[in-house]
Structure 1
Amino acid sequence: MQFDKLTLYPCYDLHTPAITERSVLYFLEPINMGTLECESLISYLIRLAEAHCVTPDKLIKHKIYPFFWGHDDLSTSDKGIIGRTFTNRSYIKLLNFSGWYTSKLVESLEHLTLRRDLTCLTMMHWHELITCVYLLRDCKAWCPSCYSYWHQNKLPIYEPLLWSFEPVAVCSHHHYPLITQCPYCNHRLPIIAPNSRLGYCSHCGEWLGNLEKYYKKSHDLYHSELALQSELIKILGLLIALNTQASQNESIRFYRQIITYFQLKELENIELSNSQISQKRIHKSMSSIKHTIEDFWKLSSRVALENCSKN
């Protein structure tokens, strides 16, 4: 056989191509990070489960729990991971805030999704300032107007971190009182349940964004509390919005040191004996935050006491 022309083909590259690391779970983007309306960690966990077409208890049991303890949770009773950790009120109310379980949950979710910013969905950066006394809810709260708007505009349903705080009684956007009881079955909803689905009752499964099912509170009572609520939302909202800068920004880190210093002195009118913290630097740091520590505690204590007296 005669070959007049030979075709030259490029050589095969037998080197293994560089493959970027793949995440176990979707690289899901948190909602409104760096703003007052930033998503909470529990909301992110429930959305992540829904994105994988599983219930939160399945995601926790088979993916998160092994990261916690190094083995699967094979228990099907209430003594399993769901009953023992994530639906126990003493633990669950801290998951959007700080503590060992919160840091471990953040660590596990970041490991599974390869994200590095999920701490910003909690108040871990501000644990020196915020304590859980009177501030964290035992049950879910929501704004039906937000749910309705997001649903109508085909936006993702989620729960802002701000809704996790007990003194926050109104929606920062609609100025509508937050709801804590299902209008269909009258149940108070846990912050997270084995079958939690954002925007729906975990007891009866009904949609919680139907505005016709809610009775609006007295207009006079609402306006009497609005100014106080607005101030509280400003303070908490500013700290939530600054979460994305708290670990990188030097001035924010210094502000956290000041918070710790004041808290150790029980937030009283103290004489600054620490020569490393000058009055000028303190004033500058406080000015950038717009509110003093005393302002926060007076306001949060006042709201908490008013809520306790009503109950």
Structure 2
Amino acid sequence: MTEVAISLRSTLHALDPYGRGTSEVESLLSYFCRLAVSHSTSTLSLSRMIAERFQHEVEKNFDWHERHISGLRESALTWSSALSAMTSVPGLDELTFLPWKAVVSQNGLSMVSKGQFCPVCFAEDCWNGRGPYFRLAWESRAMTVCLRHSVRLIQYCPSCGKDNVRHAAAFVVPGWCTKCGEFLGRDADQLEAEAISPEELWQARQVGDLLVAQGRHGDVAQRSGFIDALIHIIGEMDGGMPSMFAARTGIAKSTLHHWLHEKGTPTLEMSLNIAARCGISLPKLLLGDLRDWEAPRRDQQLALLPSHDLKRRSSARALDWDQIERELQNFLELPTPISVLEAARRLDVEARQLYLRVNRTTRHLGERWKRHLAHSRQANLQTALPHLQSLGRELLAEGHALTRRDVAARIPPEVMSSVPRLFEVLRNVQERLIAEQADSRRDS
């Protein structure tokens, strides 16, 4: 079967995605790059063509590769649906993590920005007579090793040593370095041996199983099923007491309450933590499938968890808001005003909390800081004006305009560094000097 299946009804070539239904499923990012190669065009040109087709405005500095189009945010839905429409290939959302959007927080899937990959997978792709491609599993930060080859995923070119070489370029051929053009694939014995921890292998296996499950179940993961399963697990392991379960898993009680009683969902990292501590696979936890699950008699999975996860969560610092109010009042008496952000830094609290808990005093502090900034800017302007007027008269006499370059060359930087809206100031000074010259000519 050829890679390109011709379809008279499709705008773009109807490429067949690689690895569908397996842990080796291709990412939508990879599919997009292969489409660009298939049409002998740049990824930038293709991205703009897709945007125009769906009437999306694209900025001049648009960088398609900075969008996490294989994740589970709106960009993944937009791109997968657009590519399905233009290639006539249905279900391209299976090349993203979108099937899990109901049970994983939208901001809870950490994606790798610089494009990691397994060199042995690329080499194996060529051995098997197909073009190299990027696996969806590689896009998640939870995946740090290739489970198939037991090697660490890398982000640099084995030939030139530069990083971010996988796809961040206008022209991308999957499997070849975007900086030096060399093949990124290598045999396993050509790579430097690195120790891989059991928890890394376990996490890689869970992410791989997740992708297999989404190929089988589609988008059947529902928040209600996950929450019901979580409630059952809490009941079996901690007598139905969320606070004890929170302590067991290192999750904040407020976070757990948000999941159970509001509309929150965990991050992928949190779900991996729960799965490890409760003796259940990640896909079964997210799908709410508790068939054959029994509460572990002890934390059998603790050996799989990073050591820092085993530390007990430190209790939140109790804030004395009356004392904080008094400190803010003291800040209001300082000879030199400070900003709300600086006050928050000195008090070791979040600025937003100041507005929530001591709103009136915080707003007074903010207004005082704004007045101070305005006064300082005006004072700086008054200091600089005589210098600008003198320079402007010299330049106009020579037949030149007052420009920022002349200002930088002839006026000390300490005088000009704090002048606000310098271009506007220069224009106003020049206009006044020209008007002054015109009045002088009329008078003479």
Q: Which residue of structure 1 aligns with residue 117 of structure 2?
A: 142
- 1:272–1:112 distance in 2 versus 1, CA, 3 Å: closer
Q: Which residue of structure 2 aligns with residue 4 of structure 1?
A: none
If asked which structure has higher relative contact order (CA below 8 Å, sep 6+), I would say 1
Give the Å deviation of 1:42: 0.1
Give the Å deviation of 1:120: 0.5
Deviations 1:176-219 (A, max 9, x none): 1111111233222165421111001111111101349954134x
Matched to 2:65, the amino acid is T
Whether the aligned pair in 2 keeps the contact of 1:167 and 1:303 (CA below 8 Å) is no
Q: Which residue of structure 1 aligns with residue 62 of structure 2?
A: 84
Bigger fraction of residues in helix: 2
Give the Å deviation of 1:156: 2.5
- 1:270–1:110 distance in 2 versus 1, CA, 3 Å: closer
Q: Which residue of structure 2 aligns with residue 237 of structure 1?
A: 208
Distance (Å, rounded) in 1 between the aligned partners of 2:307 and 2:38: 37
Give the Å deviation of 1:230: 2.6
Give the count of matched residue pairs.
253
Q: Which residue of structure 2 aligns with residue 276 of structure 1?
A: none
Q: Which residue of structure 2 aligns with residue 216 of structure 1?
A: 192
Matched to 1:236, the amino acid is V
TM normalised by structure 1 equals: 0.68
Distance (Å, rounded) in 2 between the aligned partners of 1:237 and 1:178: 14
Pairwise mapping of residues 1-311 of structure 1 onto structure 2 (< 5 A)?
A: 22-62=9-49, 64-70=50-56, 79-80=59-60, 83-88=61-66, 92=67, 94-131=68-105, 132-133=107-108, 135-189=110-164, 191-211=167-187, 215-218=191-194, 221-222=195-196, 225=197, 227-247=198-218, 252-254=220-222, 256-259=223-226, 266-267=255-256, 285-287=288-290, 302=306
Further displaced range: 147-156 or 157-166: 147-156
Matched to 1:38, the amino acid is V
Secondary structure at 2:62's aligned position in 1? helix
Distance (Å, rounded) in 2 between the aligned partners of 1:119 and 1:113: 13
- 1:117–1:301 distance in 2 versus 1, CA, 3 Å: farther
Distance (Å, rounded) in 2 between the aligned partners of 1:299 and 1:40: 31
Tell me which structure has the larger Cα radius of gyration: 2
Whether the aligned pair in 2 keeps the contact of 1:87 and 1:192 (CA below 8 Å) is yes
Aligned-pair identity (%): 21
Give the Å deviation of 1:133: 4.8
When the two chains are superposed, the root-mean-square deviation of aligned CA atoms in Å is 3.9
Gaps of 5+ in 2: 1-6, 231-250, 263-284, 311-444
Distance (Å, rounded) in 2 between the aligned partners of 1:123 and 1:169: 17
Gaps of 5+ in 1: 1-19, 74-78, 274-281, 307-311
Distance (Å, rounded) in 2 between the aligned partners of 1:67 and 1:301: 47
Deviations 1:135-192 (A, max 9, x none): 3111111111111111123122111111111131211211111111112332221654
Secondary structure at 1:242's aligned position in 2? helix
Distance (Å, rounded) in 2 between the aligned partners of 1:152 and 1:98: 32
- 1:102–1:122 distance in 2 versus 1, CA, 3 Å: same
Deviations 1:94-147 (A, max 9, x none): 211111211111111011011221010001111243345573111111111111
Matched to 1:182, the amino acid is C
Distance (Å, rounded) in 1 between the aligned partners of 2:86 and 2:294: 37
Q: Which residue of structure 2 aligns with residue 16 of structure 1?
A: none
TM normalised by structure 2 equals: 0.49
Secondary structure at 1:107's aligned position in 2? helix
Give the Å deviation of 1:37: 1.0
Further displaced range: 190-199 or 44-53: 190-199
